[in-house]
Amino acid sequence: MKTWDYAESIESSAIVNIEKKYGIFLDGEFQTANSKKFLKTISPSTEEVLSSITVGNKNDIDSAVDSAKNGLKIWSKLTGTERAKYLFKLARLIQERSREFAVLESLDGGKPIKESRDFDLPQVAANFFYFAGWADKLDISWNTKGLKPYGIVGQIIPWNFPLLMLSWKVAPALATGNVVILKPAESTPLTALLFAELCQEVGLPPGVFNLVTGDGTTGAALVQHPDISKIAFTGSTAVGKYIQNETAGRDIGLTLELGGKAANIVYNDAAIDQAVEGVVNGIFFNQGHVCCAGSRLVLQEDIHDEFVSKLEKRMQSLRVGNPLDKNTDIGAINSKEQLDKISFLVNEGVSEGGTIFQTECELPANGFWFRPTLFTNAQPSYKIAREEIFGPVLTTLTFRTPEEAIDIANNTEYGLSAGIWTEKGSKILWTADRLQAGVIWANTFNKFDPSSPFGGYKESGFGREGGRHGLLSYLKVQS
Amino acid sequence: MSLTKESKNTLSWSNTVELIDNLRVDEVGLKERVASLATRSIKKDSKLQALNYIVTMCDLTTLEGEDTEGKIGQMAAKAIRPDPSNSEVPSVAAVCVYPALVAKAKEMTRNSNVKVASVSSYFPSGQAPLESKIFDTQFAIDQGADEIDIVINRKAFFEGDYRKMYDEIVALKEVCKSVHLKTILEVGELKTYENIKKASLISLAAGSDFIKTSTGKISNGSSREACYLMAKAVWDYKMVTGFKAGIKVAGGIRDSKDAIRYLVIVNEELGPEWLSPDYFRFGASSLVDDVLKQIKKLKTNAYQSSYYFPRG
């Protein structure tokens, strides 16, 4: 059979300028850290070393706090309108340089350029625009004048949406009058470093945005620092629990956005072809490195065979490969460590008795890759149905009645998101009402908007990011 | 559905009812998928391959009251050799004309692979008794047509008389026998996505070899969304019967870029085995000219003026 192969269509990486080595960003400028320890950040699609980044230590966090204290002195004297000016400038500059950011994000993190270009960067700019708009309207946000910023906020962000998570954290914190010390993930620090350059370019007052790169030890030093008034963390539930323990008993605010094992419930009266698309998008978007990924397909038993047949056919058309190729649907797994974790859990799924289907695509020789994977004949007790895999792996569970669908969907320690697929409006409402999840999508999945609050139930965390509710994560209410 | 999986290009009415019962399409999801397929970046060799596919899949069409034997002569010659300056450019799939001009088209294409397609069944409105449609179709076949493009009975469809719409296609298929039957849905009139998918499935179940978007006689003829839905219908029908039907998109497809986007839909939703004139066609009058310019551009790196290419 003759096939029509799409020729490579590579987004040029000539646009990005990556330094050999990066320091930390304090007092409005890049500085050499106290720590002499560096780690290499690599491109997960080629394993090529991109740069060396500083592993900030306790002294560096102390310096960052000093810088932030000076920043706060300036920032707290500005009106909301004045703060907004900086945020609007940042938003516009992000838009102007979005191609550069998108390429850098795909290089450093492995996500397909079509996602960093068409999803991440537009969302990043939208977040800055949105929260810039709130900066001078805080009094009317909750109809009280008694809203006070925390002060110095420590923010720790993950590697799945590096710049997007930065925008979710930094934009509302600055809009509400806080100053920030940001610790990006160790495998994806480059876009945050470029963002620091933007802060210089817009003339953000020194010390308002501080950046200390590093690993878990850096994050721990940040969490332990007594002068931090608030920690905002997005990442694994295990680290979230550590942070909650560490901050217990202290006068400190905390919001946690943690793991998930979302159910994507497909009823037999759904628009099947679009539900297949939504399920594919729900789990294979960003290689499944999505805390709200629809990793459990909760499927009505009487449409199981038809649905799975269509799903497998659709999965075969997913193009796995070079993240910078504009036709790539699924990029590289973010790190060797994550790849090992995914492989381990998938092997467990097979040995527990699940039926595995993987697409036949060719994988590149270097870098970290995993084939889109579907499990059928899986049971709610299997590891692949309970643990967050954080990779392109979908587990199918079946149900007979709507009540059973709810039971299965809620039978998890997580509660971040869920999806409902039916053409019947009343069934959407009935189902949504009973799901224990912070974000529920109906007949769509992975839709985001800066105005919509995002956050979890149960072990998926607490606090909300985005929307008017997201402001409260960075404000203390006085009445 | 409880049907045997043998290849079967007709379904009984009761099986057809089962197929179209509770048919659901989500507009938002459909548009999103189609928009995402439109971002495929087709460059270099894969673009050339696509352009060649498009030429071989074209039904070069003229369906005007002013058509004459002289006009058909020009078009048929162009269909056989679209670009006399480049012998690598293949012939198009077919010429598509009114029944009265089939004989001339047949005569002009006799020493080539180019097929002659004729519209019939009171194209484009279909507002005539079945007897007239049968006569119209039989006449075109007697004149030598290799392929017949009929229109569905939209009056019956909108009146809810799906059975009548189905029966008419069955009757016309009987007239056609082995002559290739393409059934035009006129998606711009059907408007809703449920209607398009429903009409697609009824047309397939009644024995159509192809389903086709439009007569080209209304302003919103074809759309990528309609093509996507028709591909889904073709797939659903294959799942039930094993029969592999084709799709013809016609109506307002004028440039290569747009045509390539249609190819991407077929390639990804149905598979590369549909990328052949046996299963996918473009009905167009001016599309070929743009494709020829693009092929020239890939070879010479320069766009050439229209007067370098023969008129059809």
The 10s digit of each residue's pLDDT in A91-148 is 999 999 999 999 999 999 999 999 999 999 999 999 999 999 999 999 999 999 899 9
* Active-site residue set of A: 257, 291
In a domain, B307, yes or no: no
Compute the radius of gyration of chain A from its Cα atoms. 22
Contacts with A77 (C-beta within 8 Å, 6 or more apart), sequence order: none
Contacts with A461 (C-beta within 8 Å, 6 or more apart), sequence order: A237, A240, A255, A256, A257, A258, A416, A455
In a domain, B7, yes or no: no
Identity of the residue in A6, A274, A313 whose CB atom sits nearest the CB atom of B30: A274
CB-based contact, B197 to chain A, within 8 Å: no
Q: Which of B24, B39, B192 best probes binding to A when mutated, by most A CB atoms within 10 angstroms?
A: B24
What's the number of domains chain B is made of? 1
Q: How far A143 CA sits from the closest chain B CA (Å)?
A: 36
B22 and A269 within 8 Å at the Cβ level: the answer is yes
A278 and B29 within 8 Å at the Cβ level: the answer is yes
Q: How far A284 CA sits from the closest chain B CA (Å)?
A: 14
CB-based contact, B24 to chain A, within 8 Å: yes
| Distances from the Cα of A341 to the Cα of A387, B106, B280, angstroms | 11, 66, 44
Q: Which of A6, A279, A317 best probes binding to B when mutated, by most B CB atoms within 10 angstroms?
A: A6
The type of residue at A423 is E
The type of residue at A235 is G
In a domain, B43, yes or no: yes
Hunting for tokens 């020729």 — which residue is that?
A7
Q: B30 is in which domain, residue-wise?
A: 13-300
Taking only the tens place, the pLDDT of each residue in A371-400 is 999 999 999 999 999 999 999 999 999 999
For residue B242, the chain A residues in CB contact (below 8 A) are none
- pLDDT at B312 (0 to 100): 79
Q: Six-digit token pair at B248?
A: 């013809």
The dihedral sign for the CA sequence A319, A320, A322, A326: positive
For residue A3, the chain B residues in CB contact (below 8 A) are 272
For residue A277, the chain B residues in CB contact (below 8 A) are 29, 32-33
Cα(B65)–Cα(B182) distance, integer angstroms: 22
B29 and A306 within 8 Å at the Cβ level: the answer is no
For residue A270, the chain B residues in CB contact (below 8 A) are 24
CB-based contact, B159 to chain A, within 8 Å: no
In a domain, B309, yes or no: no
A269 and B239 within 8 Å at the Cβ level: the answer is no
Cα(B166)–Cα(B12) distance, integer angstroms: 10
pLDDT digit string (tens) for chain B, length 312 residues: 444 444 668 999 999 999 999 899 999 999 999 999 999 999 999 999 999 999 999 999 999 999 999 999 999 999 999 999 999 999 999 999 999 999 999 999 999 999 999 999 999 999 999 999 999 999 999 999 999 999 999 999 999 999 999 999 999 999 999 999 999 999 999 999 999 999 999 999 999 999 999 999 999 999 999 999 999 999 999 999 999 999 999 999 999 999 999 999 999 999 999 999 999 999 998 999 999 999 999 999 999 998 989 887
Cα(B42)–Cα(B40) distance, integer angstroms: 6
Taking only the tens place, the pLDDT of each residue in A174-233 is 999 999 999 999 999 999 999 999 999 999 999 999 999 999 999 999 999 999 999 999
CB burial of residue B177 (10 Å; 0-12, 13-18, 19+): exposed
- pLDDT at B9 (0 to 100): 83
B29 and A444 within 8 Å at the Cβ level: the answer is yes
Taking only the tens place, the pLDDT of each residue in A228-279 is 999 999 999 999 999 999 999 999 999 999 999 999 999 999 999 999 999 9
State the span(s) of chain A assigned CATH 3.40.309.10. 263-449
| Distances from the Cα of B185 to the Cα of A405, B123, B225, B269, angstroms | 39, 11, 14, 20
Q: Choosing from B78, B106, B133, B212, which is the catalytic residue? A: B212
Q: Which of B2, B21, B23, B26 best probes binding to A when mutated, by most A CB atoms within 10 angstroms?
A: B26
In a domain, B1, yes or no: no
Complex ipTM value: 0.95
Q: How far B194 CA sits from the closest chain A CA (Å)?
A: 10
Cα(A299)–Cα(A283) distance, integer angstroms: 15
- Strands A152-156 and A147-149 turn out to be unpaired
Helix H or strand E encompassing A183: strand A179-183
- pLDDT at A479 (0 to 100): 86
Q: How many CA atoms lie within 13 A of B290 on its CB side?
A: 15
Q: For residue A2, name the pLDDT band (cuts at 50, 70, 90).
A: confident
CB burial of residue A376 (10 Å; 0-12, 13-18, 19+): buried
Q: Choosing from B104, B106, B173, B248, which is the catalytic residue? A: B248
Helix H or strand E encompassing A179: strand A179-183
Cα(A174)–Cα(A219) distance, integer angstroms: 20
Q: How far A6 CA sits from the closest chain B CA (Å)?
A: 5
Taking only the tens place, the pLDDT of each residue in A399-457 is 999 999 999 999 999 999 999 999 999 999 999 999 999 999 999 999 999 999 999 99
In a domain, B3, yes or no: no
In a domain, B235, yes or no: yes
A444 and B272 within 8 Å at the Cβ level: the answer is no
Torsion angles phi and psi, residue B36, rounded to 5: -70, -35
- pLDDT at A1 (0 to 100): 53
- pLDDT at B126 (0 to 100): 97
What are the E-state strand segments in A335-392? 355-358, 373-376
Cα(A301)–Cα(A344) distance, integer angstroms: 28
Instruction: Work out the widest C-alpha separation in chain B, in whole angstroms.
Output: 58
**Could you name the CATH architecture of A21-258+460-477?**
3-Layer(aba) Sandwich (3.40)
A278 and B232 within 8 Å at the Cβ level: the answer is no
A306 and B275 within 8 Å at the Cβ level: the answer is no
Torsion angles phi and psi, residue A400, rounded to 5: -105, -40
Q: How far A446 CA sits from the closest chain B CA (Å)?
A: 12
Domain containing B289 — which CATH number?
3.20.20.70
Cα(A231)–Cα(A463) distance, integer angstroms: 11
Count interface pairs A-B at CB distance under 8 A. Answer: 70
- pLDDT at B4 (0 to 100): 46
State the span(s) of chain A assigned CATH 3.40.605.10. 21-258+460-477
- pLDDT at B5 (0 to 100): 45
Q: How far A268 CA sits from the closest chain B CA (Å)?
A: 10
Nearest alpha carbon to residue A89 among A186, A198, A217: A198
The type of residue at A390 is F
The dihedral sign for the CA sequence B19, B23, B29, B31: positive
CB burial of residue A66 (10 Å; 0-12, 13-18, 19+): middle
Taking only the tens place, the pLDDT of each residue in A35-92 is 999 999 999 999 999 999 999 999 999 999 999 999 999 999 999 999 999 999 999 9
A271 and B268 within 8 Å at the Cβ level: the answer is no
Cα(B291)–Cα(B282) distance, integer angstroms: 12
Q: Which residues of A touch B (CB under 8 A)?
A: 1-7, 9, 114, 118, 269-275, 277-278, 306, 309, 313, 317, 326-327, 423, 443-444
Identity of the residue in B33, B41, B263 whose CB atom sits nearest the CB atom of A9: B41
Under 8 Å between Cβ of B287 and B96? no
- Strand pairing partners for B284? B60
Identity of the residue in B44, B235, B272 whose CB atom sits nearest the CB atom of A4: B272
Cα(A319)–Cα(A424) distance, integer angstroms: 33
Crossing angle for the helix pair B27-37 and A272-284, nearest 10 degrees? 60
Instruction: Indicate if B149 belongs to the active site.
Output: yes
Report the chain A residue with the minimal C-alpha distance to residue B276. Answer: A2
B24 and A269 within 8 Å at the Cβ level: the answer is yes
Report the chain A residue with the minimal C-alpha distance to residue B24. Answer: A271
Instruction: Please give the span between the terminal C-alpha atoms of chain A, in angstroms, as a whole number.
Output: 73
**Could you name the CATH architecture of A263-449?**
3-Layer(aba) Sandwich (3.40)
Report the chain A residue with the minimal C-alpha distance to residue B267. Answer: A4
Q: Choosing from B149, B209, B289, B290, which is the catalytic residue? A: B149
Side by side, the strands of the sheet bearing A373-376 are: A355-358, A373-376, A393-399, A296-300, A263-266, A417-421, A439-442
Nearest alpha carbon to residue A412 among A461, A350, A463, A459: A459
